[in-house]
Chain A
Amino acid sequence: MFTILRDLTRHNMEFLGGLVLFAIIVGLIILSYFSPYGPTDIYLLPPDMPPDGDYWLGTTSRGQDVFWQLTTALRNTLYFGIGVAFLSRIISLVVGLVAGYAGGAVDRVLMAINDSVMVIPQFPLLILFYFVLKDSMTWTALIVIMAALGWSYDARLIRSVAISLKTRPFTTQSVYSGMSMRKILIQEHLPYVLPIVFATTMNNMIWSIGMEITLSVLGFTDIETPTMGMMIYWANAHSALIAGIWWWVAAPVAVIVVLFLALFLLSMSMNEYNDPRSRLNRMGG
């Protein structure tokens, strides 16, 4: 684990860049726990104050401090992304490993479902869920729904590795020594696919956070919890840009770009690290 990190930071500028940007995000999230204002408190401060010494990033038309609001929103958004990524990783690992190892009819059935989930249009479905759930649409519900939609591509990737693992001698040996399928998958195969799982986690977070922002901006989520999308939603609802309160929109947009750049750089460099040819290329080996 630490060797991998050392290699990555030494030979891969993108990884280092991603790590630095991610550290900024984590720093902001840690700060959110020291916020002097409650996350949903409004009309506490003079509204529409431009950025200055008292209010570092200004205040909103709803009388909130943009900076502290931003740290809380960022925390909720990142937790959301991690929640979706974690749940969907479990599904994709189970489906991918089982389908790859079992083969035959099990594989065909699982992959048929997998491919169907892959092409089903997600956005109309998410809107449909909001439409029927309305007020009972909580963040937990959204995390579960997003996780149920976001595992298929990675399951295919994991399956392709699992198929090649199955033909290796160590698998045959485990079978002959009487290990159960569950044990083989967890103890023998799982460690081999974990690097891929890490890289796809970043991609999954990019996807789920992007969806969260879009749904929130349109007002299709629980509008009381501050998230990055919700900040833009409220700014839009108060026509912040037209009224000249640009800091209300610029701050979340800038942080979103930093967050996505961090995740993207991390996922790109890990993907490259997983590919031995390009890894050797970079190390000059």
Chain B
Amino acid sequence: MTSYLIFVLKRFGQFLLVVFLGVTITFFVTHLTPIDPVEESIGAITQMGQSDPNAIELMRQSLRELYGMEGSIWQQYLHFWLRLATGDLGPSLSAFPTPVSTIILRSLPWTIGLMTVSTLITFVLGNAIGALAGYYRKDMVLKAVSLVFIALLPIPYYILAFVLLIVFGYLWPVLPINGGYEMNANLDLSFALVLDILKHSILPAVSLIMVGAGSWLIGMRALVSNIITEDYVVFAELGGVPKRRILRSYIARNAMVPQFTGLAMSLGAIFNGTVITEIVFGYPGIGNLLIEAVHAGDYSLVLGLSALSIVGVAAAVFIIDILSPLIDPRIKVE
């Protein structure tokens, strides 16, 4: 048990390091540029007609305070950490004075819902087909299905999503291709709303699954074909253990372990995938929010989203990492 504790502490140190590096990069990238966010927003405000110099000076002062632009860059850096720790990311520039955290919290459930469900389906589907294809090597149907998924692998996500849009948006318009729910939907919780949300998530989810399943499939198939040659599997076959049982309890179980570690890695890629998916399908999650913030020049929202995605990914990887020894006793915790 103590060795597990040391393992968890080590991983926690790694988690802290990732967050530290990520947030530091984010901070310095945004603060060492010639663009001054306060002057930019002052410019935007004066363009709207406000011209009293005293009022503008007052506004400049309060904005500087709000964005933590006071003092040297190191003081600002420290200040940024303190605010981050309390979850206060400052006010949004484009939707002043709504706090950045409120805006992000509005979009976050969409992203988490879509990404978790499609990542899990991808994981289960890819591994199931991979295990079957690795065990029943001669089966033509499995071969064909594997080939389709593997052929999809090298195609850039954007291209595939584009094809789906053309097919289901123009050629055979059965599914909604844009948004997370119907435009004029009544947002009270109801069966119709849930159905509507599900319908809107089909295309983005399917595109993610189509792209992602192939790599799980290849990995699992390779693992399984290595395991079939192990003595205990050969022994079980000679002893007449039913094939299904061999596959389920002798092979798949052992092959799953490295795949679970891979799951942690793929969670790290969630925030990469989500931005593109959400833009292509107009899904109302944080990816879309990020792009809107970039176009609106919303400094604090971009900064907040980047920091959040780093902390979120690091935390997800940390949790999966410390869970994996509990799933499999063979993982050495050193």
Contact = CB atoms under 8 A, between A and B. Distances in A.
Interface of A: 112-113, 115-125, 127-134, 206, 209-210, 213-214, 217-218, 220, 232, 241, 249, 253, 256-257, 260-261, 263-264
B268 A214 contact: no
Q: How large is the interface on B (under 10, 10 to 19, 20 to 34, 35 or more residues)?
A: 35 or more
A121 B35 contact: no
Given A112-B14, A128-B26, A264-B153, A119 B313 contact: yes
5 contacts: A123-B275, A214-B276, A232-B158, A241-B170, A263-B154
Nearest to B30: A132
A118 B14 CA distance: 12
Please give me the 7 A-B residue pairs with the lowest Cβ-Cβ distance, nearest first. Answer: A264-B154, A121-B271, A260-B154, A119-B268, A123-B272, A132-B33, A116-B18
Contacts of B317: 119
Contacts, number: 104
B157 A210 contact: yes
A120 to B, nearest CB: 5
Contacts of A134: 35
Given A123-B275, A214-B276, A217-B158, A116 B17 contact: yes
Contacts of B279: 218
Given A116-B18, A130-B294, A261-B154, 14 more contacts: A116-B14, A117-B21, A122-B272, A125-B29, A127-B275, A128-B29, A128-B302, A128-B306, A132-B33, A209-B156, A218-B291, A241-B166, A264-B153, A264-B154
Contacts of A120: 18, 21-22, 25, 310, 313
A253 B310 CA distance: 32
Which applies to chain A's interface (DSSP): helix, strand, loop or mixed? Answer: helix
Given A116-B17, A127-B294, A128-B30, A121 B159 contact: no
Contacts of B270: 121
Interface string B284-309: 00000011001000000010011001
A146 to B, nearest CB: 13
Nearest to B267: A119
B48 to A, nearest CB: 22
B275 A119 contact: no
A253 B157 CA distance: 12
B314 interface: yes
A130 B275 CA distance: 15
B141 interface: no
B66 to A, nearest CB: 19
B58 interface: no
B189 interface: no
Contact of A210 (B29, B156, B305): B156
A32 B56 CA distance: 54
Q: Which of A113, A116, A253, A256: most chain B Cβ within 10 A?
A: A116
Contacts of A264: 153-154
Contacts of B159: 213, 253, 256-257
B60 to A, nearest CB: 21
Nearest to A128: B306
B218 to A, nearest CB: 9
Contacts of A260: 154-156
A162 to B, nearest CB: 20
B162 interface: yes
B172 to A, nearest CB: 15
Contact of B158 (A121, A213, A263): A213
Given A112-B14, A120-B310, A213 B156 contact: yes
B114 to A, nearest CB: 16
A90 B203 CA distance: 40
Contact of A206 (B154, B302, B309): B154
A220 B305 CA distance: 17
A172 B25 CA distance: 40
Q: Which of B25, B35, B269, B313: most chain A Cβ within 10 A?
A: B25
A121 B310 contact: yes
Nearest to A260: B154
Given A128-B30, A133-B33, A241-B166, A113 B21 contact: yes
Nearest to A202: B154
Contact of A124 (B21, B153, B271): B271
B309 A214 contact: no
A214 B156 contact: yes
Nearest to A229: B158
Contact of B291 (A115, A127, A257): A127
Contacts of A124: 271, 275, 290, 305-306, 309-310
